[in-house]
A and B are shown apart, each in its own frame.
Chain A
Amino acid sequence: MSLAVTSTPLARRFEALPIAIFLVLALAPLAASFGAETYLLGLFTRVMIYGIAALALDFICGYGGLVSFGHAAFVGIGAYTAGIFGAHGITDMAITLPVALLVSALFAWLTGTVCLRTKSVYFIMITLAFGQMIYFVAGSLSPYGGDDGLTLKLRSTLFGFPILQYDRALYYAVLAFLLVSYLLLRGIVASRFGRVFRGARDNPTRMATIGYDVFRYQRIAYVIAGSLGGLSGFLLANATEFVSPSFMSWQRSGELIIMVLFGGIGTLHGAIVGAAAFLVLEDMLGGITENWKLIFGPMLVLIVLFARGGLLGLAQSVWERLRRG
Chain B
Amino acid sequence: MAEPVPNPVLRIENLRKNFGGLVVTDGVSMTIGEGELHAVIGPNGAGKTTLINQISGTLAPSAGTIYLNGADVTALPPNKRAELGLARSFQITSVLPRFSALENVALAVQARSGSSYRFIGCADKENALNDAAMAALTEVSLDRRADILAAHLSHGEKRALELAIALAMQPKLLLLDEPMAGTGPEESERLIVVLQRLKGRFAMMLVEHDMNAVFALADRISVLTYGRILASGQPAAVRADPAVMTAYLGEELE
* Residues of chain A having any CB pair with chain B under 8 Å: 3-7, 9-11, 187-188, 190-196, 198-199, 202-203, 205-214, 217, 220
Chain B residues bordering chain A, tally (CB within 8 A): 42
Q: Is B119 an interface residue (CB 8 A)?
A: yes
Q: Is B223 an interface residue (CB 8 A)?
A: no
Q: Assuming A188-B119, A192-B110, A195-B103, is B87 touching A210 (CB within 8 A)?
A: yes
B158 to chain A, nearest CB (A): 12
A209: which of B78, B123, B126 is its contact (CB, 8 Å)? Answer: B78
Is A9 a contact partner of B107 (Cβ separation < 8 A)?
no
Q: Are A220 and B117 in contact (CB under 8 A)?
A: yes
Contacts of A187 in B (CB 8 A): 119-120
B169, A211: Cβ atoms closer than 8 Å: yes
Known: A9-B125, A195-B107. A213 touches B79 (CB 8 A): yes
Contact segment of B67-75, B92-100, B187-195, B232-240:
B92-100
21 A-B contact pairs sorted by A residue (CB < 8 Å) = A5-B148, A6-B100, A6-B148, A190-B124, A191-B122, A192-B110, A192-B123, A194-B123, A195-B110, A195-B116, A195-B123, A202-B97, A202-B99, A205-B58, A206-B94, A207-B107, A208-B79, A209-B88, A209-B94, A211-B83, A213-B77
- Please judge, given known A-B contacts A5-B152, A209-B88, whether A191 and B118 are in contact too, CB under 8 Å: yes
Contacts of A6 in B (CB 8 A): 100, 147-149
Q: From residue B19, how far is it (CB to closest CB) to chain A in Å?
A: 19
A220 partner residues in chain B, CB cutoff 8 A:
117
B165 at the interface (CB under 8 A from A): yes
Of the candidates B79, B95, B121, the one whose C-beta lies within 8 Å of that of A212 is B79
Q: Is the CB of A211 within 8 A of B112?
A: yes
Q: Is B123's CB under 8 angstroms from A199's CB? A: no
**B111 at interface (Cβ–Cβ under 8 A)?**
yes
Instruction: Determine the main DSSP class of A at the interface with B.
Output: helix
What mask results when residues 165 to 189 of chain B are scored 1 for a CB within 8 Å of chain A, else 0? 1000100000000000000000000
Q: Is B39 an interface residue (CB 8 A)?
A: no
Chain A residue with Cβ nearest B126: A192
Nearest chain A CB to B251 CB, angstrom units: 32
B218: interface (CB < 8 Å): no
Give the complex CA separation of A7 and B145 in angstroms. 11
Cβ contacts under 8 Å, A191 to chain B = 118-123
Given contacts A192-B110, A203-B96, contact A5 B149 (CB under 8 A): yes
Min C-beta distance of B128 to chain A, whole Å: 12
Q: How many Å lie between the Cα of A206 and that of B78 in the bound state? A: 10
**Which of B82, B123, B148 lies in contact with A210, CB distance below 8 A?**
B82
The answer on a CB contact under 8 Å between B149 and A7 is: yes
CB distance from B27 to the nearest CB of A (A): 26
5 residue pairs, one from A and one from B, having the closest CB atoms: A211-B82, A211-B111, A202-B96, A7-B100, A192-B118
**Closest partner residue, chain B, to A193 (CB atom):** B119
Q: Is the CB–CB distance between A192 and B87 below 8 Å?
A: no
CB distance B107 to A208 under 8 Å? no
| Residue numbers in A under 8 Å from B147 (CB-CB) | 6-7
How many angstroms between the C-alpha atoms of A205 and B165 in the bound complex?
14
B56 within 8 A of A: yes
Whether A208 lies near B78 (C-beta < 8 A) is yes
Report how far A193 CA is from B120 CA in the complex, Å. Answer: 8
Of chain B, the residue at the smallest CB distance from A188 is B119
Known: A206-B95, A208-B79. A193 touches B149 (CB 8 A): no
Q: Please provide the chain B residues from 23 to 50 with a CB less than 8 Å away from any CB of chain A in the complex.
A: none
How many angstroms from the CA of A10 to the CA of B125 in the assembled complex?
10
Query: Closest residue to A9 on the B side, CB-wise?
Result: B124
In the bound complex, what is the Cα–Cα distance between A174 and B123 (angstroms)?
Answer: 30
The answer, yes or no, to whether B108 is at the interface (CB within 8 Å) is yes
Q: Evaluate contact between A10 and B124: CB separation under 8 angstroms.
A: yes
- The answer to whether B119 touches A203 (Cβ under 8 A) is no
Partner of A203 from the list B88, B95, B123, B126 (CB cut-off 8 Å) is B95
Identity of the chain A residue whose Cβ is nearest the Cβ of B56 in the assembled complex: A209
For the complex formed, measure the closest distance between the CB of B175 and the CB atoms of chain A, giving whole angstroms: 9
Q: Are the C-beta atoms of A193 and B77 separated by less than 8 Å?
A: no
Contact assessment for A206 and B96 in the assembled complex, using a CB-CB cutoff below 8 Å: yes
Cross-chain contact B111 with A7 (CB below 8 angstroms): no
Q: Which of B78, B97, B126 has the most CB of A within 10 A?
A: B78
Q: How far is the CA of A142 from the CA of B116 in the complex (A)?
A: 45
Within 8 Å CB of B119, what residues of A? Answer: 187-188, 191, 193-194
B111 touches A212 (CB 8 A): yes
**Distance A217 CA – B116 CA, assembled complex (angstroms):** 9
A199 touches B78 (CB 8 A): no
Interface centre among A207, A209, A212 (most CB of B within 10 A): A209
Contacts of A202 in B (CB 8 A): 96-99
